[in-house]
Amino acid sequence: MIPNILFAARPEQWDIYEKPLKSALSEAGVTANLALDLAPEEVDYMVYAPNSAVQDFTPYTRLKAVLNLWAGVENIVGNQTLKVPLARMVDHGLTQGMVEWVTGHVLRHHLGMDAHILGQDGVWRKTIPPLAEDRPVTVLGLGVLGQACAKALRGLGFPVTGWGRSARTVPGITCLSGDEGLRTALQRAEILVLLLPKTAETENLMNAERLAMLPKGAMIVNPGRGPLIDDDALLAALDTGHVGHATLDVFRVEPLPPAHPYWAHPRVTVTPHIASETRPITAARVIIENVRRGETGAPYLHLVDRAKGY
């Protein structure tokens, strides 16, 4: 029987993904029916975005797997009607985009580029930054994106400490875990990169107590999840100068409301959730590879651990 694949995302995304998904099916040699509208009882696989109209999976009695278009799964992982495997998006385009954004902003802060880019006022500001080898960087989150960014920064010469909720080993990276490991990781972080998923355990992880653990003047780069940071605590730390600058790409409410204090704060850079986007061509290949695996009995890639929430 030819499998049926339902595209369950916002309708406007169909125009973006239809051609790449059909091309990926052809490249993989997979014969399947891909559609925007299918009877629930006829669906074998679901290409899914958490903001889809589909929120109750009970009618999908033939469903084999849900293949998420997004890296984040916090808005679906707790859905009690979802009983089949859930795969999150891990693809080359998304990872490479994150590496480029993170390394760009870490280098910007390390080199003090803002003083020259923004300070075109006739004042000769000559300051010599330390070498990368003398600028400790900490990456919180050692999943696929965190590891990729940590390795890229290490390749540029930064001493990198990585922290995760479970113990990991990454060559060239000092890997820590647990509460004491987090304290140590923060105390070392002249530049802090946040790449943790949003879970009950990570929400407001960077509260006033943990922000105070950072070295005075530390820079924060957050392309992970907005709720990782207690906004009021960060604003207070920025006002005192304990945190030197925060470059934020993700927020609790998006788009960030015009009246939000982050927009006007001189020590905050807002970027509009552009650190890493799912690229349709590369994402389609990942999705269809999981369809191929499902049809041949091979294990799915990038399965979510429902107990951990990511």
- Which of 38, 47, 37 lies closest to 17 in space, CA to CA? 47
Per-domain boundaries in the chain:
4-91+278-296, 94-270
Q: CA dist 76 to 41, 51, 68, 290, Å? A: 20, 9, 9, 19
Q: Are 66 and 282 in contact (CB under 8 A)?
A: no
Q: Are 156 and 149 in contact (CB under 8 A)?
A: no
Q: CA dist 260 to 41, 118, 268, 279, 286, Å? A: 45, 22, 12, 30, 37
Q: Are 281 and 93 in contact (CB under 8 A)?
A: yes
4-91+278-296 and 94-270: identical CATH topology = yes
CB neighbours (10 Å) of residue 258? 7
How many Cα atoms are found within 13 Å in the side-chain-facing hemisphere of 13?
A: 23
- DSSP-derived letter for residue 156 is T
What angle (nearest 5°) sits at the alpha carbon of residue 23, between those of residues 20 and 27? 135
Tokens representing 294? Answer: 């499902």
Q: Are 107 and 101 in contact (CB under 8 A)?
A: no
Pairing between β-strand 218-222 and β-strand 174-177 as defined by DSSP bridges? unpaired
Q: What is the pLDDT of residue 119?
A: 78
How many Cα atoms are found within 13 Å in the side-chain-facing hemisphere of 62?
A: 14
Q: What is the pLDDT of residue 277?
A: 85
Averages of pLDDT over each 10 residues, the chain, 310 residues: 97 96 98 97 98 97 97 93 97 94 98 89 90 98 97 98 95 97 98 96 97 98 98 98 98 97 98 93 97 98 92
Q: What is the pLDDT of residue 228?
A: 98
> In this structure, which CATH number among 3.40.50.720, 3.40.50.2300, 3.40.30.10, 2.60.40.420 belongs to the domain 94-270?
3.40.50.720
Q: CA dist 170 to 96, 148, 149, 222, 294, Å? A: 18, 10, 12, 21, 30
Q: Are 76 and 301 in contact (CB under 8 A)?
A: no
List of residues 6+ apart from 305 with CB closer than 8 A: none
CB neighbours (10 Å) of residue 298? 11
115, β-bridge pairs: none
Give CA–CA dist 105/113, Å, rounded.
Answer: 10
Catalytic residues: 225, 273
**Torsion sign across C-alpha atoms 211, 72, 17, 300:** positive
Locus of tokens 């803002």: 114
Preceding omega of 255 cis (within 30 degrees of 0): yes
Amino acid (1-letter code) at residue 257: P
267 — phi, psi (to 5°)?
-110, 20
CATH code of the domain made up of 4-91+278-296: 3.40.50.720
